[in-house]
Structure 1
Amino acid sequence: MDVVARHLAAIDRLRARDLPVGGAGHHIVELESGRGARAAADDLHALREAIARRLGARWGETPPWGQLTLRLRLARGEEIPEPWATLCLRADELDVWQAEDVWLAVGVADRDEADEIRLLATVTRTAPP
């Protein structure tokens, strides 16, 4: 199984997990990580794009969703619901889809230079703000 197919299978398992009905529950999982070199970040961004193309074929093409506006809103003291508040602090952009009653986001958490670079997938019932 290629790496994209392996991550798509993990995303499908994530979508199948129980979320509280009517609640703000969410799951965030790390699909892959890398440390240090810019090449690792470039590889994870390329992997995110490959996954986004395949998910776009399933649920429709969507442009990447920039997180700067959410970070500015947080800085002004606005309350941003989870998992979106956490994700906007970790990733510069997300690919986001609504699949049935669940929102799915995929992004690369590379904003903290002291931390590992991570390819993340998230499912939630909470719509993006």
Structure 2
Amino acid sequence: MTSAQHLATIERLCSEGFPQEHGGSDVGAEGPGYRIVELATSEEFWEDDGTAREETQEQYEADRDGITELLANRWGRPHIISLASVFERSVDGEDIPEPWGILSSHVPDLHLWRADGHDRWVALGVSQWARDLPFQLLLVVTEIDPP
């Protein structure tokens, strides 16, 4: 996707309604009050010595930072939040609302904005479920406040 396509996707998701049930979509996960969209997904790293993984992580973080600059022009500098404490709270048994609970298990931090005129949160993050699995550049649009 190009930068213009990313911005169009963000604008569309800020305007449309949310599904009534939790589930998957062709581009991510969704549920009442949120959508998580996979903007890009890398290859897996089963046979990697660590070099390709490191380079891919750097590229995905650079892609996130590029989109962050575009959104900063629209909504100002993002809040950068760590999800580590949210993950710890969920492991300790606290019921964390979605999308924050699932994100905390595989996204270390998010670039977060309150979307002007939409009453929604917009977030970007780089996900990796496990060392050998792909990286994903994720876009989150939600009306659910961060915990």
Matches within 5 A, 1:1-129: 3-19=2-18, 24-35=32-43, 36=45, 37=52, 38-99=54-115, 100-129=118-147
Q: Alignment RMSD, CA only?
A: 2.0
Deviation at residue 95 of structure 1 after TM alignment: 0.6
For 2:141 and 2:121, locate their aligned partners in 1 and report how far apart those are by CA, in whole Å: 6
- For the Cα contact (< 8 Å) 2:79–2:113, is it kept in 1? no
Which has a greater percent of helix? 1
Say which SS state the counterpart of residue 81 (structure 1) adopts: coil
Question: How much identity, in percent, do the aligned residues show?
Answer: 35
- Of structures 1 and 2, the larger Rg is shown by 2
* Higher relative contact order (Cα pairs below 8 Å, separated by 6+ residues): 1
Q: TM-score, normalised by structure 2?
A: 0.77
- For the Cα contact (< 8 Å) 2:125–2:137, is it kept in 1? yes
Aligned residues: 127
Deviation at residue 88 of structure 1 after TM alignment: 1.0
State the AA in 2 paired with 1:40: T
Q: TM-score, normalised by structure 1?
A: 0.87
Deviating 4+ runs (over 4 angstroms)? none
- For the Cα contact (< 8 Å) 1:34–1:41, is it kept in 2? no
Deviation at residue 116 of structure 1 after TM alignment: 1.4
